[in-house]
């Protein structure tokens, strides 16, 4: 029988340390998945579109959203992965932001995944945005900054 009164290392971590670990684990899972798909010749863009469609079910019934409202929600999700928001303009018809930290370049190097390939996860948001009358675009720049743009395309 185990002695559960002994202090274990898992109990010593703060919530902040556990959050950092969860962020690293989430990014590592994404990177490992991208590496797996690429090794097998499966297009990562198809994977991103498929998970976007699955995630969209969790967003409730489609209804028109403001561009800024949608980008705010996506920035919250990205921050949960460890991204940092450098700039954001959350307008009604158009919203734009820049982020860093996802994908994490150090984790990409560890998993031998090019950051531009890992960033394909951003494409998942397009499947969530479209039924809400929005166009989602993104671009990972060479300096590691990701530019995100949301625009209304339907009547709001």
Task: State the CATH number of the domain containing residue 135.
Answer: 3.30.1380.20
How far is residue 101 from each of residues 13, 18, 37, 105, 115, measured CA to CA in Å? 23, 18, 22, 8, 10
The token duo for 70 is: 């949608």
Please check whether residue 20 lies inside any domain of the structure. yes
For the chain, what is the domain count? 1
For residues 85-92, give the mean pLDDT. 98
Share of the chain above pLDDT 70, in %: 93
For residues 34-42, give the mean pLDDT. 96
Please check whether residue 66 lies inside any domain of the structure. yes
Please check whether residue 5 lies inside any domain of the structure. no
Please check whether residue 127 lies inside any domain of the structure. yes
Cα–Cα distance for residue pair 137/156, rounded to 1 Å = 19
For residues 72-100, give the mean pLDDT. 97
Please check whether residue 2 lies inside any domain of the structure. no
Please check whether residue 6 lies inside any domain of the structure. no
- Beta partners for 151? 94, 135
Which of 85, 99, 102 is closest to 24 using CA atoms?
A: 102
Whether pLDDT at 5 is above 90: no
Domain that holds residue 77: 15-152
Confidence of residue 122 (pLDDT cuts 50, 70, 90): very high
Please check whether residue 3 lies inside any domain of the structure. no
- pTM (predicted TM-score): 0.87
Please check whether residue 9 lies inside any domain of the structure. no
pLDDT at 156: 44
For residues 20-28, give the mean pLDDT. 94
Whether pLDDT at 70 is above 90: yes
Which distant-in-sequence residues (6+ apart) come within 8 Å of 9 by Cβ? Answer: none
pLDDT at 2: 54
Cα–Cα distance for residue pair 14/97, rounded to 1 Å = 31
Contact, 94 vs 151, CB < 8 A? Answer: yes
Whether pLDDT at 84 is above 50: yes
Q: What average pLDDT does the chain have?
A: 92
Give buried/exposed letters for 100-122 (b at 16+ CB in 10 A, else e): bbbbbeebbeebebebebbbbbb
């Amino acid at each position: 029988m185990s002695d559960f009164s002994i202090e274990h290392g898992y109990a010593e971590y703060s919530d902040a340390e556990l959050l950092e670990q969860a962020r690293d684990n989430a990014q590592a899972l994404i990177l490992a998945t991208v590496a797996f798909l690429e090794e097998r010749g499966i297009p990562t863009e198809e994977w991103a579109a498929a998970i976007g469609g699955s995630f969209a079910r969790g967003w409730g019934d489609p209804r028109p959203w403001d561009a800024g409202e949608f980008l705010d929600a996506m920035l919250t999700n990205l921050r949960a992965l460890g991204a940092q928001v450098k700039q954001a303009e959350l307008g009604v018809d158009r919203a734009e932001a820049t982020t860093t930290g996802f994908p994490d370049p150090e984790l990409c190097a560890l998993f031998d995944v090019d950051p531009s390939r890992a960033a394909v996860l951003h494409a998942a948001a397009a499947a969530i945005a479209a039924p809400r009358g929005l166009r989602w675009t993104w671009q990972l720049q060479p300096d590691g900054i990701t530019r995100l743009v949301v625009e209304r395309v339907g009547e709001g």
